[in-house]
Chains A and B, each alone.
Chain A
Amino acid sequence: MNLEELKPLWESYKDQTGQQLHWTDNEIARIIQQNTTAYPWLLNFCMTILLITVTGC
């Protein structure tokens, strides 16, 4: 027995795992959109804090 013989089994493992844990395109899009949309909110928050600090409330 050698490692080459395990390659088809590895492919089957990947296929099986991929089918069981499949994420749709929309779910994948949501992961990256959450990250992208977090920045304007964070920027807004930081700017508000900065303005409050500078103007002394």
Chain B
Amino acid sequence: MAQDKLQKEFIELISSQQKLIHSICSLYFVSVDDRKDVFQEIVLQLWKSYPAFKFQSKASTWIYRIALNTIFSRLRKEKNKPGRQSLSEAILQIPESETSGLETSIENLYQAISQLSEVDKAVIMLYLDEHSYDEMAHLLKMSRTNVSTRINRIKVRLFKLLKLSAT
């Protein structure tokens, strides 16, 4: 059946790209339950839009678009709820554990990116995933100049944060 074929193709695609979705979710949500919920929500949104996705753009660009829209919309709803703990507050409460050199570097990068604003996080993720300035501008509905300015600002902030965590 055509629906079964479509479903099989979709699962293969998500399976091969799921590390990207998990990485995005982990940068915006701290609790395991929130990450699970958002992951499911994103997969569901991707499934709904899959019939219209004709591989005209890169799969990762499509995933970023749906994932960021889903996350931003959820964050907007959560901001209206009272008593919400901010991500930077939550990060400060994560106990430090013994880790290897690479793991420490990964943890430092995660912590540094986590402290950026919601939009800046998206910009740096897209940049590190080799998306062009035009793609970023289109995805985040901002001008190319704005993207470029933000990247320069993020660079300074990120290295300051990484330097702090290394000392």
- Interface on A for B, CB 8 Å cutoff? 1-3, 6-7, 9-10, 12-23, 25, 28-29, 31-32, 35
Contacts and interface: CB of A to CB of B under 8 A. Distances in A.
Interface string B152-167: 0001001100000000
Given A25-B15, A32-B44, A32-B47, A16 B7 contact: no
| Chain A contact surface mostly | helix
Interface residues of B, number: 35
B23 A14 contact: yes
B151 A3 contact: yes
Contacts, number: 76
The majority secondary structure among interface residues of chain B is: helix
Interface in B34-60: 35, 39-40, 43-44, 47-48
B102 interface: yes
B11 A25 contact: yes
Contact of A22 (B18, B35, B127): B18
Contacts of A18: 18-20, 22-23
B129 interface: yes
Contacts of A2: 155
B20 A14 contact: yes
B133 interface: no
Nearest to B163: A1
